Structure 1
């Protein structure tokens, strides 16, 4: 039984993260103060391997079709909702969808709480009492160390990739590296979530089963048939000087290397969406997205989902179906994607886990949002005092290994800073 009740917006704290209890598997998907927070597990599906998306989609259609739902709000994100996080590669590709016991949402001036349980009508939580609890403490005595390889070794890998590109094997490959953070005690993920949501309000702050971050990249949004995908590719680091950063933004917008990388990524998304959508619109020129630490070339690709699709039934492709079709895009894999992913597996030297893969939510109507798990990290399930941070860079023919390493270091900063002390 699932029940959604509308709330007066005043019933919720300004920061929805204040509602998350310790433990109880907290989940989050937030941007600019709106979104979803959730906890508890009413149902869960774990999938893996090549068919991880299809298996999760089949499970969700079965669960949604059998659910008894009372929804007095009826907007995307109400009623039966699942949050999910998927593996990057086919193997092992460990992935999951979770239906929370309690979900609280806020969107465009409306607020609601959804409860899901077996048998009878689930009781509503005391949100006021939850919001009055003390905030989590910051991680203590955090130290950082290289993950799978050192910076110098990673530069050699980038140089190898540039050589492969020069030989004509491929046009672009996205290479990632990891950084290990170790604290004196288990990390309460609510602390970095508060920091990320405050510092990167324009990004989507997320957490599903240990995987957390603040991604600037919306892989796909589906809302009542309208599909949107934000493509980011081409990056330059900010200096903190507004006048200098304005010049750097112009430099980025004219950079042949970055424009080429961006074009590959946009083309990848448009081609992947075309079997599922009509009226696809691809802007001719990207815009520059300004974030606190970096700037990106960005393009929003839009379309209208077909009413019918052979793999999705009468409702057309769900947001999860679309996410599966888009992953991995050129923005996180490369071009051609198959060749690039094979090269990643050969030379990158680490298991990405759920990094750079779809993370987000969906409802019973197939609407929802899946971002790409970038600017992200994963709490080690075997040792919650250890957090593994991830960062990646697009490598093309003109890439300089030292510059790519500096870009990766800049992309570690959001999560690295979020693990430190500070206002929360």
Structure 2
């Protein structure tokens, strides 16, 4: 969102820059009962960051330095930049846990051809909570660490008023036509699966405070990772990759059914989802793509024989947790790059599905469906897929996204209904 300063614009990796001075201290967990409540009112939507699930995670504010890039080498350039500045950093870490010390929050563009920049942001202040541990990390480019600041609850965000919604790139009918065309190509043998997304424009009467969205998303979808990075805000249920001390895990979601709110009916729907040949086929493609990518970086890998049904507030997904032991020097961002784009957000075969997406969606996904998360100096971190999200294009306006996996058995009107269900978290958070 915010234009980078001259110091933020990436140049040659050998360019001289002030070293980061980083200090992490332990604080009583009682001081950070409400991580989101500590976020100060931002002047710009991109001034705060978040990665919170069930009351734990990381939030931050202020910006010390930023890296931005486009193109096919965006992951490699971002990783090299992060390795360079952390190698030069002056660090005092009294906690020494994943997520302490130097921290970068990131959001990567879905496509190498996107006009939207991928970004890594190093905040001035990061507050973290994990189990009984809580900490504060301050980062500056000064010779001494920043002075400790008291952690205090901040003023509540204001209601943005009435919000209106309108189809953005394609109307529902034109998007349904695109789904039918995709099914025809699948039945013709061109590809096995493709994920098609659509976008909706949300416009409010007043400025939309990102803290308003984050708070409401956390209240309604506490089992998701509620995120904010550089003006991209959402609640993703899908963990693309987590790396912690050599153990890599990935949660794959593919195959969806909308909940009704009636527990007995939803239980029956969950059973039908678990038996659906269409959804099981879609899920199998996604799991296989993740397992194949991780195999190149692991000495052992565990892939469950069958998925489980993940219950969220508005939908249920077929889900599989893949785990492995990393046997190379890959960082969490490098692993995310190897997994992106998975069949869950692209399709199979990947190259062909990507071409179909570019032709039929008629939009630039930006950072939607790209990796979003954080990484510490060791390379450990968590990267979800930017789903159930919106991207600011004005202080009172966001572009919302939803995508659906299309296979041979897909029906256009069912996919439209699924996309509506996937837009619901952001629409509800906005008050629509």
State the TM-score, normalized to the length of structure 1: 0.95
Cα shift at 1:134: 2.0
Paired position in structure 2 for 1:124: 148
Paired position in structure 1 for 2:5: none
SS in 2 for 1:247: helix
Match of 1:47 among 46, 63, 69: 69
Paired position in structure 1 for 2:228: 207
Paired position in structure 2 for 1:391: 402
For residues 90 and 409 of structure 2, the distance between their equivalents in structure 1, rounded to whole angstroms, comes to 56
For residues 6 and 216 of structure 1, the distance between their equivalents in structure 2, rounded to whole angstroms, comes to 29
SS in 2 for 1:55: helix
Paired position in structure 1 for 2:374: 361
For residues 135 and 23 of structure 1, the distance between their equivalents in structure 2, rounded to whole angstroms, comes to 12
Corresponding position: 1:233 with 2:241: no
For residues 180 and 192 of structure 2, the distance between their equivalents in structure 1, rounded to whole angstroms, comes to 14
- Structure 1 vs Structure 2 CA RMSD: 0.9
Match of 1:218 among 236, 239, 243: 239
Paired position in structure 1 for 2:92: 70
Match of 1:8 among 28, 35, 39: 28
SS in 2 for 1:234: strand
Paired residues of 2:40 and 2:155 also in contact (CA < 8 A): no
Cα shift readout 1:269-317 (whole Å, capped 9, x = no counterpart): 00111111121100001000000000000000000111x3xxxxxxx10
Paired residues of 2:390 and 2:399 also in contact (CA < 8 A): yes
Corresponding position: 1:19 with 2:32: no
Paired position in structure 2 for 1:375: 388
Paired residues of 2:254 and 2:318 also in contact (CA < 8 A): yes
Corresponding position: 1:264 with 2:275: no
Q: Which moved more, 1:135-144 or 1:155-164?
A: 135-144
Paired position in structure 2 for 1:331: 344
For residues 398 and 120 of structure 2, the distance between their equivalents in structure 1, rounded to whole angstroms, comes to 22
Gaps of 5+ in 2: 1-20
Paired position in structure 2 for 1:346: 359
Corresponding position: 1:189 with 2:210: yes
For residues 124 and 146 of structure 1, the distance between their equivalents in structure 2, rounded to whole angstroms, comes to 47
Gaps of 5+ in 1: 309-315
Cα shift at 1:185: 2.1
For residues 68 and 147 of structure 2, the distance between their equivalents in structure 1, rounded to whole angstroms, comes to 27
For residues 304 and 114 of structure 1, the distance between their equivalents in structure 2, rounded to whole angstroms, comes to 29
SS in 1 for 2:325: strand
Paired residues of 2:41 and 2:155 also in contact (CA < 8 A): no
For residues 279 and 227 of structure 2, the distance between their equivalents in structure 1, rounded to whole angstroms, comes to 27
Corresponding position: 1:320 with 2:367: no
For residues 373 and 147 of structure 2, the distance between their equivalents in structure 1, rounded to whole angstroms, comes to 26
Matches within 5 A, 1:66-145: 66-92=88-114, 93-119=116-142, 120-128=144-152, 131=153, 133-145=154-166
Q: How many residues align?
A: 407
Paired position in structure 1 for 2:173: 152
Corresponding position: 1:420 with 2:406: no
Cα shift at 1:386: 1.0
Cα shift readout 1:105-164 (whole Å, capped 9, x = no counterpart): 000110000000012121122212xx1x32001211211111101101100000000000
Cα shift readout 1:359-381 (whole Å, capped 9, x = no counterpart): 0000000100000000111111x
State the TM-score, normalized to the length of structure 2: 0.93
Runs of 4+ with deviation above 3 angstroms: none
Match of 1:401 among 369, 390, 412: 412
